[in-house]
Amino acid sequence: MAAAAAETGARELHGAGIINAIKASGVEYVLAVPDIVTSSGLLAPIAHDKDLRLIRVCKEDECIGIASGLFYADKRALILIQYTGFLDSINAIRGIAVEYKQPICMMIGLLGHEPDLAPRASPRYGVRIIEPICDDMGIAHHLISLDSDVGKIPPAIENAYRTSEPVALLIGRRPKSADRQGSDDEEG
């Protein structure tokens, strides 16, 4: 499906490709609070994926502590959250990821984002401020909106662990699941 979309130039993002990229990055644990942007295309299939261990948490900042603990045992984790949870976790990210220089890898759904706009141009205030906040905190960030962006994921995670620095992977379009078509205009 992804290949066909590429041939036709379709502006799509498929969850299967992202999950393959997560696995190719050596990630063993996915720490998550449900996010409507990534719920059906990523979180649901990850929950059934035998190669990834999903830890469902109550609140997003828990993920930062858990990922840190896993890092000390040389285990890789990806945090899958909504941008609202990222904002709610800023103090934990400040302390653990930035000041302690830990490879906290976050995949952040941009709820309400219009996929064909740059996040900074989003009419939604909460989306508009995410990249500037990352910039101010010195957190590398990458926009994943199309299948052609998925290739950014493995090197971004690898670089985070090589340099021991955080990274934010911003999901700008609702990923399509293998068994169900995603929709960009649904509201969460």
Residue 62 interacts with other proteins (CB under 8 A): yes or no: yes
Q: Which of 23, 75, 128, 152 binds other proteins (CB under 8 A)?
A: 75
Taking CB under 8 A as the rule, which mask of x and - marks residues 91-110 in contact with other proteins? xx-xxx--xxx---------
Select from 42-50, 88-96, 136-144, 172-180 the region that touches other proteins (CB under 8 A): 88-96
Find the shortest distance in angstroms from Cβ 165 to other proteins: 14
List the strands of the sheet with 167-171, edge to edge. Answer: 53-56, 29-32, 77-82, 105-109, 167-171, 140-144
Task: Report the alpha-carbon distance of residue 84 to residue 89 in Å, rounded.
Answer: 9
Helix axes 153-163, 15-24, angle to 10 degrees: 30
Site string for other proteins, 20-39 (x = CB under 8 A): ---------x----------
CA distance 186 to 182: 9
Closest CA to 38 of 4, 97, 84: 84
Given the rule CB under 8 A, which residues bind other proteins?
Answer: 29, 55-59, 61-75, 77, 91-92, 94-96, 99-101
